[in-house]
Amino acid sequence: MAAGQPAITLDTAEVAAIDNHTFPNGCHMAEVEIDPETGITTVVRYIVCDDFGTTVNPLIVRGQVAGGVAQGLGQAILEHTVFDPDSGQLLSGSFMDYALPRAGDLPDIEVDLLEIPCATNPLGVKGAGEAAAVGSPPALINAIIDALSVDGITSIDMPATSERVWRALAAA
């Protein structure tokens, strides 16, 4: 506000009736290799094919997908919150003992964007915000289970840390 000018208050409201919701569609595919001696899982290849409708800025959407895959990889393989069973004290409360995904944990993430415009809004867009973070944990866990199935392992809890994978292999 300029000196001597009266203050102006701006108020606005908008009500939008949404008759039909829209949802993105996609498919996540993960290829992993597991070292049987250590239980370390390496993601060799990761491919995402998503339909977000009309993509206004594909570069930003691809980055958002890559970030969501990284977040999902952390949930599926690395991040493990540990509490002391007697006191309830958090034992993994710092980055010294809580594993987050880093660049070396991720392969190049191949992202293919399909653009089938949505018919329920004027822009033809669909949501993209959570798609990769939702699709990546099951894709990664299913790839791990597929790799472990030759040893008779049919399930593993998240996070599939190297210790958890190693223990499953040792028990098999």
Q: From the candidates 14, 79, 110, 130, give the one annotated as an active-site residue.
A: 130
The amino acid that residue 149 corresponds to is: S
Cβ-Cβ contacts under 8 Å for 169 (sequence gap 6 or more): 34, 36, 39, 148, 151, 153
Residue with tokens 């993430």: 109
**Dihedral of CA 75/76/77/81: which sign?**
positive
Tell me if 115 sits within 8 A of 53, measured CB to CB.
Answer: yes
Q: Long-range contacts: 82-90, Cβ < 8 Å, 24+?
A: none
d(CA 102, CA 20): 39
d(CA 76, CA 160): 6
Q: Is 130 a catalytic residue?
A: yes
24 dihedral zone (left: phi>0; alpha: psi -120 to 50; beta): beta
Residues classed as catalytic:
130
